[in-house]
Chains A and B, each alone.
Chain A
Amino acid sequence: MLSKTVAELAIALANKDVSSVELTQAYLDRIAQLNPTLNAYVTTTPDQALAQAAAADALRAAGKAGPLTGIPIAHKDIFCTRDVLTACGSRMLANFTAPYDACVVERLQAAGAVMLGKTNMDEFAMGSSNETSHFGPVQNPWDQTRVPGGSSGGSAAAVAADLCAMATGTDTGGSIRQPASFCGITGLKPTYGRVSRWGMIAFASSLDQAGPLSKSAEDAALMMNVIAGADARDSTCLDIPAEDFTAQLNQPLTGLRIGLPREHFSDGLSTQVQEILQLAISKLESLGATFRDIDLPNNHLSVPAYYVIAPAEASANLSRFDGARFGYRCENPVNLEDMYKRSRGEGFGDEVKRRIMVGTYALSAGYYDAYYKKAQKIRRLIKEDFDTAFHDVDLILGPTSPHTAFKLGEKNSDPVTMYLEDIYTIAVNLAGLPGISLPAGLLNGLPIGMQLVGPALSESRLLNVAHQFQLHTDWHTQRPEV
């Protein structure tokens, strides 16, 4: 039962094969059994979950159930949850109970979803392996000596290990797609502005976007139907009409034109991953898609530009953590400056401090033009590469990550090595585009994800292609033995 998709669980609930209370209790039991080793959750909320489940069952009995009523889910610990710990992977917020719910949390709750708890993550979403978390690394359910990816590593591991039906995540440079790839699940990063950032602890505000981590593209569409849409409280949230993301799922792929970026299939990519992607390409061809090579000539500049823009925005966003009004305060500060410096020095981990310093440097007098302004110009070149490509193709396909999940500790010695992990995903955030990662195969028993990228607001098309692929393959139904 616990390995079922949300769509399948919704049918089981509707048929009264199971109640939401029974389902919620079963997930809670599995969490109690497996989480001590996997460390996917940092907080569980059993009492609240069972109360929400009972309320969902009552709604259903009253004939008022929607598609997500009674479905047990998990939230990345970056989303504020009223009166529930919201630590964002940081010592700085280790005792912070948020005074309000994030828009995403609020909407899923209103749709009847049950919150099982909050998932582990890289500190302030800064990382690609979940190893920068103050609460310790998450283990990849496929191989517990390996990372789950990051920064939404806890959410990805929880979905893969059947510790929830689906989960929320956020993606600033690949933080939904890369862990989805490493854990063999589906992860969608929506168009910038599709989903409200209200109540989502800010890392890089021009790049951050929330989205689903799920067991299928269909489930991702079901979550998108709830979380997407205008919100006046986030001034960057797009004010566009609501969309039914499930409406196009069954559309045939005939005539679909997909581009293969030469830059994504070059030296950095192993032949084994190439072979797996080639099989996926053949499958999509058999379903009616045509392929052609395209160029994204400035892709190699995406990591450098990102590591100016994201840290610059982070250095401003994280200035709010000063020990004065909430969060960690150092012991016995001798004066105000000492309080700021030691609260931040002790409250933030090494990677967060590094990025704040890089951002501070890039924005400081005399360096602004050479770094920040230059990066913003490169950002436009990257965006224009995509615009040009989408003249000739509908979507772009490539690997999500250069390889399968790596070993815990393997890439910790040099930050730049870790940054290059996101070489295929970062450009998508810089251009504000939607991207989805879905399981495309296994290599030595570990999942490989493929990424599809589309023009702005093309989520329905991405989900359509992913769903059709999943109707004709079974990679997304493979589960690790935990």
Chain B
Amino acid sequence: MALNNTDVEKIAHLARLQISESDTLEVAQRISNILTMIDQMQNVDTSQVTPMAHPFDASQRLRPDVVTETDQRDYFQKLAPATQDGLYLVPKVIE
């Protein structure tokens, strides 16, 4: 499967990644090479095989729905690029 520049732009948008125009062609070629390697899978008949999501087919363990964490908002917000009044600041969303 070979990707072109438009495919790369579309995937980069879905992944919210800025890829410069000058890099797009090289990214397309490298990802195409990876997909060609991956496509070896398509030669195998797996119609009778159940997909495996977990090495031991385990399901998620559940715990009682009770509060276990303490409030550390101020400590965590020290890591943020920008905060105000206990909120995380981001560029304006609504015009």
> How many A-B contacts are there with CB distance less than 8 Å?
162
Q: How far is the CA of A383 from the CA of B13 in the complex (A)?
A: 35
Return the chain A residue nearest B14 by Cβ: A360
Return the chain B residue nearest A308 by Cβ: B38
Contact of A300 among B13, B40, B61, B90 (CB under 8 A): B40
- Kindly provide the distance from the CB of B40 to the nearest chain A CB, expressed in whole angstroms: 5
In the bound complex, do residue B81 and residue A329 qualify as a contact, i.e. CB atoms below 8 Å apart? Answer: yes
In the bound complex, do residue B55 and residue A383 qualify as a contact, i.e. CB atoms below 8 Å apart? Answer: yes
Taking CB atoms, residues of chain A closer than 8 Å to B88 are 324-325
Q: Is B84 an interface residue (CB 8 A)?
A: no
Contact A333/B15 with A99-B72, A303-B37, A377-B49 known, Cβ cut-off 8 Å:
no
Return the chain A residue nearest B95 by Cβ: A335
Taking CB atoms, residues of chain B closer than 8 Å to A415 are 30, 33-34
Return the chain A residue nearest B82 by Cβ: A329
In the bound complex, do residue A380 and residue B42 qualify as a contact, i.e. CB atoms below 8 Å apart? Answer: no
Contact of A96 among B58, B72, B79, B91 (CB under 8 A): B79
Return the chain A residue nearest B72 by Cβ: A99
Contact A206/B54 with A339-B91, A378-B41, A415-B34 known, Cβ cut-off 8 Å:
yes
In the bound complex, do residue B91 and residue A377 qualify as a contact, i.e. CB atoms below 8 Å apart? Answer: no
Contact of A99 among B39, B52, B54, B76 (CB under 8 A): B76
Taking CB atoms, residues of chain A closer than 8 Å to B17 are 341, 344-345, 348, 353, 356-357
In the bound complex, do residue A357 and residue B11 qualify as a contact, i.e. CB atoms below 8 Å apart? Answer: yes
In the bound complex, do residue A380 and residue B51 qualify as a contact, i.e. CB atoms below 8 Å apart? Answer: yes
In the bound complex, do residue B52 and residue A380 qualify as a contact, i.e. CB atoms below 8 Å apart? Answer: yes
Taking CB atoms, residues of chain B closer than 8 Å to A307 are 34, 37-38
Q: Count of A residues near B, CB < 8 Å?
A: 69
Q: How far is the CA of A324 from the CA of B16 in the complex (A)?
A: 13
Q: How far is the CA of A414 from the CA of B7 in the complex (A)?
A: 20
Q: Is A381 an interface residue (CB 8 A)?
A: yes
Contact with A along B1-30 (1 / 0, CB 8 A): 001000110011111111110000001001
Q: How far is the CA of A452 from the CA of B63 in the complex (A)?
A: 36
Q: How far is the CA of A236 from the CA of B33 in the complex (A)?
A: 33
Q: How far is the CA of A474 from the CA of B54 in the complex (A)?
A: 38
Contact A358/B40 with A342-B18, A344-B16 known, Cβ cut-off 8 Å:
no
In the bound complex, do residue A358 and residue B46 qualify as a contact, i.e. CB atoms below 8 Å apart? Answer: no
Contact A371/B38 with A344-B18, A380-B50 known, Cβ cut-off 8 Å:
yes
Q: Which has the most chain A C-beta neighbours within 10 Å: B3, B18, B82, B92?
A: B18
Q: Is A267 an interface residue (CB 8 A)?
A: no
